[in-house]
Structure 1
Amino acid sequence: MKRTISFTTGKGSVNHNSRKFHATNIDPERSHLNIEYFNENIKDVYHELFDEALARYNEKQTRNDRRIDDYYEKILSGKQEKPFYEIVVQIGDKDNMGAKTEDGQLAGKILDEYMKGFQKRNPTLKVFSAYLHMDEATPHLHIDFIPYVTGSKRGLETRVSLKKALESLGFKGGTRSETERNQWYAHEKKQLSELMLNHGIEWEKKGTHEKHLSVLDFKKQERSKEVEELEKKKTELQSENQSYEEINENLKGQLSELDDEIRSMQNGMEKSKKEAESARKQADKYQKRMQELAPMVKDMEHMAAKFSDNPEQVLPEAGSIESGKSYREKKAKPLMEKIVKVLRSVYASYLDVSRKFDKLQLSYNRTVEKANNLSDRFHEIYTENQELKEIVRDYECVKAVLGKEKVSGIVQMEKQREQLLKEQKRAERRKQNREAR
């Protein structure tokens, strides 16, 4: 027995899948045969997957407009990624695998086995809603999942990304027909075909011409193919657009860092100017005080030395009323000692003020030099910032003229060329090292 395998993109109607309402093609009397595997609120799952990464991301932001309040709402309103994806898996069709027949029951059993291994095979596709429907014409699975990647260098460390989620599972895109999603589809079909073979059913791979299809079924299939092609094109455009967004984000990040550094430099310059002004005022104060003391301390050490000599050689003899010895011992010598003490104290104060002035003068000169260096660095960064802004403007002009797709293609080619050059240089170095040995 041979049967086809169908993997299609679903509409993602969780209420329909969980049978909160019944469509006209459903037999309610058979709904109890359905199997529910997962039925979680998508917002709760988003909190579980991304809250920690979101908190770390927001802590790093210096600008409020770059913070993210609700990651689910951001993805829902964005254009880069869908909040979740759905696939519908089916074996055969209503004519050869009708749900009411024994073959249909067997199809349901195989799909049940397939679903039980799905999450283990695809750990980066977080399933939050999954059902096996046995109450429609043909048994089939609805699997709703959130694709995510960890360790991301852009945006949140853990973020939504179908491309990266599939890459982490080993599916790397190549040509337009060999996208990550197409490779993954092929792999999952192979997994399902092996389960089918265990039950005696071979995988029938049909070509472009299919038999036993009614006109309506054929039209529906052709429309399905058109939708699938559009989905492929959409995925490719999203990938190209992501490259552009990465470049734009990098430029914006550099500009933001330069803006922050400029503000920091401005603050540093203001602080240095205030410190320099304070030092200048203090120096002026000490200089004024020194100018006041200068006449007083002129020849002060000489006077102190002179009056430190033997008082008998300096002081006159006592008068007739008082004996000379009494005059010198009781009046002259104590007076001279006080004069010498005062003179030396004033001179010491002068020296102390002079030292403080010299120290402040040195500090002032250093602060002025620091402010000048900050000013030079500020102008360098400001010039670099202006150049980056000019690059961004040029990039936007090129994108407007050539189109986002062509610009992204050129960027990718240049990245590949740079990588090839790096590999060639590494190979050349290894060759030179081998020859040297």
Structure 2
Amino acid sequence: MGRISMPQGKGSQLHNRRDYEKIGKAIPDNIQSYRTYQNVTIVDKDIRAAYKEIFGNVLQEYNKRQKRADRRIDDYYEHILKSKNGEKPFYEDVIQWGSMEDFRADPRLREKAKECLVEYARTFEARNPNLKLIGAYVHMDEASPHLHLDYIPVASGYKTGLQARNSLDKAMKQMGYVPVKESRINNATKLWKEHERAYFGELCRSKGLKVEAERKARGSLSVDEYKEAKSNMLDGLKENKKALINEIADKNKTAYELLCKIKQQQRELNSTKKQLEDIKEQIEKYKQQKDTAEKELNDVLEQIAFYKGDKSIALMSDFTLLMADDKHVQLPAIQKQIEELQRKYDQLKKQPPQIKTIEKVVEVKKEVKVPVEVPVEVKKEVLVYKEINVDYKSLHHKLANIMWRIYDKLLQHDDLHAAFNSAKIKDDVEYNDIAIAATESDDIIRGIDQQIKRNAKSR
């Protein structure tokens, strides 16, 4: 829906005629030159020629009546330019329907607006006989189509001086626009403009354009109409105020809720940051404790690995590598050999028939004093038994020696001592069993050796 507007123009014929290039001036930015061909010029008169046409006869009659040369007026146009009564050589009004937003929304309205403006200009003088057009220009090369009306107001019926003169107020009143209570804001020109806007509005409606209702000013309303309009306006303002207050309250509530959420999230973030800092501090403490423990352990290991004397034992953190008699001895390897010898020893301990026979022979010999022949196979078994037993005892004693030396060194550090005891290296049950078995095997070997020597002497 478009609004009818009719402001006063600047009255620039250079702008109206688009004569910028003719005088070497740049075209203003608001003018779309590619649309200038759509402009329509309805009236375009030279102002001096128009003054001669309008006031030539009355000026000639006036000069004839003047007896003094200094009272004569040679050129009425120049006379108006020099006048101090406030007259203008011509007046301009710009009339249009709608705004640039209306035409952007529907560009097809431009042609309808153009049609209305052209028809309005062509009927202008018929409605306004006291306003003589010297220019009527429809501009289509700007954001909104509009019409520039340049006119000279002509009032007649003067008893003295020129019978027809340039007078805007009297020209309006002679056309019937006489205010009831005339004032600066309630004058003939104002009434005329209201009439012209109303006429142009009806013309636009007839062409299919929607026109916004005319806005009345206080000067054109009666007291009762003014009071009613004021009351309606105040009621509307109150409703709008109430709606705005409610809207602001809702927005304030929403903003407060958002602020509370932001503060809560900030508190949670600060708490998370503090927890993270605490964790970092704990990690740092653990790192320091770990570094301290590693350093202390390395110091202990160095003390164990390097001690005075020609022989040394290098104790590693996992106790898997030892150094004895300047040679590397691996505990797992020794343990494996011990387990293998233990297995063979257990088999011999079961006392196969040959060994049992030897024991009986020894017992009989003690009582009968008769030489006993020992079979060759039994001798071989006995030799194997001795060899296994000797190797087993040698390895076992060697391991025991190593263990005791390690244990003696471990006594210097309480923590490692406790770890060593927990591993049951010192009081190993298997070690005690092996030691007892070794003692028993020594008695058997000594008895067999003595019997063999007796047999040899008797032969």
Larger radius of gyration: 2
TM-score range, shorter chain: 0.3 to 0.5
TM-score w.r.t. structure 2 length? 0.43
TM-score w.r.t. structure 1 length? 0.46
